[in-house]
Amino acid sequence: MPVSEGLNFALMLAESGVIDSAVHEVMVRPQLLMAAEASPGVKTAMKNQIMKWRGQMLKKTAKGTVVEQFSDEINFYQQVCTWNQEYFIAHSEQIVKRLEGQSAFYFKAKSLFAKEQNQHNPMFQRFFCDKWYDYLAHALREAQESEVEEQKDKLLQDLYQRIETMKKMATVTDAGDASKAGRLWDMAQAKLTKTDVDVMKKIAAFLKKNNGLQDIAEKLGRMANEVDDPNKERVKAEQMKLVEEISDNVTDDIVGIHESDDLTKLLPNEAMFLAYPELEVIFYKHLADKQLMNYRMQGTQRKLRKVKAFQRQTKQVDQPKGPFIVCIDASGSMSGFPENCAKALAYGLMQIALVEERDCFVIMFSTQQITYELTKQDGLHEVVNFLSYSFHGGTDLGPVLDQSIDLMAAGKYKNADLVVLSDFIAPSQPEVMQSRVQKLKQQKNRFHAVNLSKYGNPELLELFDHCWSYHPSTLSQLGRLFKLR
């Protein structure tokens, strides 16, 4: 297909208003309007998704995707337009036969040629091609409308699905924060069952009742703001500074003799020229030429001067926050209360990640590693799968640290928080591992440990920047259970 004609049809479709009409029709749906009014965060996220869909459809139309379906007919149309009149009339049957079964213009073309057999109008070819163009444009518009309608139905289905999921999530967590609601909307592509919702409700309730876990999660969320980055906090600025300078205008000491025109520092023998009229002219010549012998005076004076210096900013510099990488010990020794603590803390960190526009990865480790990306498009499915995982096997901390360090070595994970939740009943790590961890700490990545046992290995815990211990006594756990009842 010649580029010019294909581009002409593509632009015609892009500017036809079909896509904008579809967008307007979607945005005035009562169910969507009600959901948008219920939450400003959902309203913004919903509008962004619809506008993104509009951009994708415009881009697809501008590329000529619909036009490609009619490429053979457009090519043939352009060939016919270039034929001379005699050749055009001589091949009229060929034109009609070629259009049969391929073009909506077939019947109209057959009728026009039948009428022209006896008239021999010299403008017939131009008239015929203009009519053909109109039919092509109409067919292209109908094809685009059909495609837009199909894509619009898929968009509405997705929007309704997200609204339904958001309603279910409202019973699990408070999504009043606009940024959290927006991220939840992005994750709400997943369809949740009642069992899925019950699993999340159970963990959310456990987190709410164990305030200590919530405090740890909030402290972890603030860590990225407390990074001391001297490269970013030191800025160049001008300031006034009092300095001492050596000056010839300060009469502290006589340091020598020099030629000048300063009469206040004149040597006595120079005045002898004024005693004789015939020598007086020599005195004035020396004065004009600044050749009179003067005492050289020198001293120091203090003055303010602008100097450029580096100084620390008075307020904390905002740093780009990396993701949470939560490594959870899924060994059999963690089953029971420690397992619930680990899942609840990871769930709490996911909530913080939603508000702070951060990613949240969970790596379950025992004899193997399983990774969940909780904040991606279908992240709610990942959350449910993670919360439903049963702990079993043994503790093998080395491989999961290797995997996490490999992730954090990438630029995307700068200023990341690695959080290991375990009972830390495991051997210390080799020096090679400790060296890799220290290197990442220098790149402003942080390593945290949450010890869910009284018997964690102290040498192993020294690997981390911050360590929290959370292992309430059996008596306090029983008391909490009685309060719940």
Are 448 and 220 in contact by the 8 Å Cβ rule? The answer is: yes
Report pLDDT for 250: 64
Q: Domain 194-225+319-484 carries which CATH code?
A: 3.40.50.410
Buried b (16+ CB within 10 A) or exposed e, 403-438: bbbebbeeeebbbbbbbbbbbbbbeebeeebeebbe
The token duo for 66 is: 């619909």
Residue 177 CB: number of other CB atoms within 10 A?
15
Round to whole Å and give the CA distance between 355 and 339.
Answer: 25
Instruction: Tell me how far apart the alpha carbons of residues 485 and 475 are, in angstroms, rounded to a whole number.
Output: 16
Locate the domains of the chain by residue range.
3-181, 194-225+319-484, 232-312
pLDDT at 310 over 60: no
Residues, the chain:
485
DSSP state, 261? -
The 8-class DSSP code of residue 319 comes to -
Give the per-residue pLDDT at 474.
Answer: 44
pLDDT level of residue 272 (50, 70, 90 thresholds): confident
Residues 83-135 have pLDDT tens digits of 888 888 888 888 888 888 888 888 888 888 888 776 777 888 889 988 888 88
Q: What is the pLDDT of residue 423?
A: 87
